[in-house]
Amino acid sequence: MGLCLIIAGAYLTVTEILPNPLHEKPDWHGMDKPIFVEGELQAEPAEGTGEQLMLPLTVLQKVVDPTIRYESGTRSIIMTTPVRVMRLQTGQKKAQLNNKPVELRFAPEEKDGVLYMPIQPLKELYGVNIHQDAATGAVILMKAGDTIQMGAAKGQSDDKVKLRKDDSIHSPILADMRGGTALRIWNSEGSWYFAQMDNGYSGYVRKDEVTLGDEKTVDIPSQPPTRAERSWKGKPVNLAWEAVYQNKPDPAVLDKLDGVNVVSPTWFSIIDGKGNVRSTADMAYVNKAHARKMEVWGLINNSFDADITTNAMATYETRLNTIIQLLELAQMYQLDGINIDFENVKTKDGPNITQFVRELKPLAQDKGLILSVDVTPKSSSELWSKFLDRSALGEAADFIVLMAYDEHWASSPEAGSVSSLPWAEAAARKILDEDGVPPQKLILAVPLYTRIWSEEAKNGKVEVSSKAVGMKTVKDILAEKKLKPKYLEDVKQHYVEYKEDGVLKKIWIEDAVSLQARVDLAKSLKLGGVAAWTRSFGTEDAWKVLKGIQR
């Protein structure tokens, strides 16, 4: 019994009081080419060595860029940055960079169901830094912008500094480090550093056994200022959409748009599943706008056709077909920007819309074009809202234009404002707060139209219908019927109702008062500007009010 107590006491002393002298191999011991990020082992190992080193796509998507896209139909890997879009295909050295052919030294490969990427394009696009140890094969992957605290084990070359599995002297030893052993220090926990040797071994070392060195920052690939940064920094956008239907608008109408600095005509539509684009662009309109110092951002829509959109956005090839045509049209008509207005889109196609914008942005930037994307307020609508990844679109595009109208839409079951101020403010704040879109990138779009609502009793029920009209039509009705609107504090706009042929009519009026409230809102939120739908609905006093965004 006494002997047992002595043995137990000795064991307790060794395990709970004295430093643990036992060694243990790391979890990845025996693995070929393990990959580490900030000292943590990744799920998949690398392939190859030196310039032929290949990294798994899954690791790159996890730690470098989650937007790297793989399309199995064409075995394509697509990488995008604000200034570059690169398309590679497994087994092929030929690739495209900003739609120009480039030759890779090594092709992407698929091995045992895992896709591997060569490091050459990763360094060029993302600026990743890689250390590979010749002895263990360990790969330490560092991202552009990472700042690494360097250090070294204290002591002479024959001293042994312990690298332990956990931050405790009772934890097993992973390595005995000689004095001077180089370390990358990833974290600090109490009196311990979480550090990593060049050979990949990572663990905990006491702070008093480490000499701190310099901090090293991985260079970020240089990017020139965007055209938006050069042309619009500190300058609010005052955009007017030009709805173009059967007839071309007379360019002379631009003379009446006091203060407008961007016009966006609805000239372009994707007309089929191959991504082909129809154009109704007019050079005379562009020349007139430029003469008035206005930029022209041509609008492209998806024909508001869900099936066309599904097919046209499904592959790199069809998206590129649209992009090439759009850029050719932009050059032909000397446009200054592109405005994307995709509506009636299946939720499942949302990621493809985002990818389209990511692929278009670098090519538009090459041509000096502003890229803006129209979005609806956030809602549960499958076809009109849920497909939009406003956060990702805010990162990719120069501007996000919030179409803050149709609070009560054409077939709404109840009459109401097209855009009450509290509703518009809530819509803007949601995108700023929930989606992280920078305020200077968000443009508040306001309606220059309203709806005349009709409420008629039929079969014991009230039937509601509406008709959209512009500001002048409402002014004429008020004058003709000698109506006196009242101001509604809750919606911050004027309201009137009257009877016509026994039918109750209701109008929530868009006028200088409601527009001024929205200009004030855009200013208070420090937004990038305002936009108005549509030019033909506006009156002279509307443009005077909207001009106030620039003051």
User: How high is the pLDDT of residue 16?
Assistant: 67
Instruction: Give the model's pLDDT for residue 469.
Output: 98
Is 115 contained in some domain?
Answer: yes
Q: pLDDT over 70 for what percent of the chain? A: 97
Residue 159, pLDDT above cutoff 90: no
- Split at pLDDT 50, 70, 90, the class of 150 is very high
Q: What pLDDT was estimated at residue 207?
A: 98
Which tokens go with 66?
Answer: 């989650």
Query: In sequence order, which residues have a C-beta less than 8 Å from that of residue 137 and are 6 or more positions away?
Result: 32, 33, 34, 46, 49
Nearest alpha-carbon partner for 115 in 163, 60, 158: 60
Residue 249, SS3?
A: coil
Q: What is the mean pLDDT of residues 302-331?
A: 99
Q: Nearest CA to 479 among 509, 451, 501, 456?
A: 509
Do 262 and 158 lie in a common domain?
A: no
Distance CA 270, CA 278 (A): 6
In this structure, the answer to whether residues 187 and 241 fall within a common structural domain is no
Residue 551: pLDDT band (50, 70, 90) is confident
3-state secondary structure (DSSP) of residue 520: helix
Instruction: Please check the confidence at residue 136 and state whether its pLDDT lies above 70.
Output: yes
What's the domain range around 356?
Answer: 227-447+510-550
194, 217, 240 - which closes a domain: 217
65: closest CA among 45, 85, 48, 44?
Answer: 85
Instruction: Give the contacts of 66 (CB within 8 A, at least 6 positions apart).
Output: none
137 and 150 in a single domain? The answer is no
pLDDT at 11: 54
DSSP 295-337: EEEEEEE-TT-HHHHHHHTSSHHHHHHHHHHHHHHHHHTT-SE
Decide if 11 is inside a domain: no
Task: Answer whether residue 496 is part of any domain.
Answer: no
Regarding whether 122 and 68 lie in a shared domain, the answer is yes
- Whole-number Å distance between alpha carbons of 37 and 444: 41
What's the confidence (pLDDT) of residue 460? 87
211 and 241: one domain? no
Contact residues for 549 (Cβ-Cβ < 8 A; gap 6+): 236, 238, 259, 519, 522, 523, 529, 530
* HSE value, Cβ hemisphere, 13 Å, CA-based, for 456: 10
pLDDT, tens only, 499-508: 999 999 999 9
Q: Are residues 434 and 515 in the same domain?
A: yes
How does DSSP classify residue 141? E
- Pure H helices in 333-397: 350-366, 390-396
Q: Indicate the range of 7-11, 246-250, 361-365, 411-415 predicted with least confidence.
A: 7-11
pLDDT band at 135 (very low <50, low <70, confident <90, very high): very high
User: pLDDT of 384-398, one tens digit each?
Assistant: 999 999 999 999 999
Q: Could you give the C-alpha distances from 118 to 160, 343, 392, 506, in angstroms and in order?
A: 38, 38, 26, 65
Query: Beta 529-533 vs 237-242: how paired, if at all?
Result: parallel
CA 521-542-439 angle, to 5 degrees, is: 25
Residue-level pLDDT at 7: 57
In a domain, 438, yes or no: yes
Dist CA 440 CA 419 (whole Å)? 22
Residue 170 has pLDDT above 60, yes or no: yes
pLDDT, tens digit, for every residue of 199-209? Answer: 999 999 999 99
Please, what is the average pLDDT of the chain? Answer: 96
- Residue length of the chain: 551
Return d(Cα 227, Cα 337) in angstroms, integer.
10
* pLDDT of res. 378: 98
DSSP 23: B
Same domain, yes or no, for 327 and 191? no
- Asked, for residue 397, whether it belongs to a domain, the answer is yes
Could you tell me how far CA 149 lies from the centroid of its own chain?
31
3-state secondary structure of 216: strand
The domain that holds 296 is classified in CATH as 3.20.20.80
> Over 90: is that where the pLDDT of 13 sits?
no
The identity of residue 119, as a single letter, is I
Which of the four pLDDT bands, split at 50, 70 and 90, describes residue 483? very high
Query: Are 233 and 331 within one domain?
Result: yes
Which tokens is 140 given? Answer: 């330490």
Residue 511 has pLDDT above 60, yes or no: yes
pLDDT band at 5 (very low <50, low <70, confident <90, very high): low
Last residue of a domain, one of 122, 142, 162: 142
In a domain, 187, yes or no: yes
Residue 473, H or E segment: helix 471-480
Structural domain tally of the chain? 3
Planar angle of CA 318, 114, 133, nearest 5 degrees:
120
Structure tokens at 262: 């961007």
DSSP string of 67-110, one letter each residue: T-EEETTTTEEEEE-SS-EEEEETT-SEEEETTEEEE-SS--EE
Tokens of 274: 């191959």
Q: Give dist(CA 97, CA 85) in Å, integer.
A: 6
* The residue to which tokens 């107590």 are assigned: 5
> What average pLDDT score do residues 233-240 get?
98
Confidence at residue 3, expressed as pLDDT on a 0 to 100 scale: 55
Pairing of strands 442-447, 399-403: parallel
Residue with tokens 């139909």: 73
Write out pLDDT tens, residues 259-280.
999 999 999 999 999 999 999 9
* Co-location of 231 and 351 in the same domain: yes
Candidates 289, 271, 288; CA nearest to 280 is 271
For residue 300, what pLDDT band results from cuts at 50, 70 and 90?
A: very high
Q: What is the CATH number of the domain that holds 103?
A: 3.30.457.10
Residue 49 belongs to some domain of the structure:
yes
Percent of the chain predicted with pLDDT > 90: 95
Q: Is 296 found in the same domain as 394?
A: yes
Does one domain contain both 196 and 62?
Answer: no
Say which amino acid occupies 34.
P
pLDDT in tens, 59-89: 999 999 999 999 999 999 999 999 999 999 9
The pLDDT tens digits for 252-262 are: 999 999 999 99
**What does the block give as tokens for 31?**
């693995």
Mean pLDDT for 226-237 is 97
β-pairing verdict for 442-447 and 529-533: parallel
Do 286 and 426 lie in one domain? The reply is yes
Q: Read off φ and ψ for residue 295, nearest 5 degrees.
A: -85, 155
Inter-residue contact 497 to 477 (CB < 8 Å): no
Q: Which of 112, 142, 172 corresponds to the end of one domain?
A: 142
pLDDT interval class at 461 (50, 70, 90): very high
Burial of 507 (0-12, 13-18, 19+ CB in 10 A): buried
* Residue 473 belongs to a domain: no
CATH of the domain at 190: 2.30.30.40
With a cut of 80, say whether residue 226 has pLDDT above it.
yes
For residue 264, the 8-state DSSP code is E
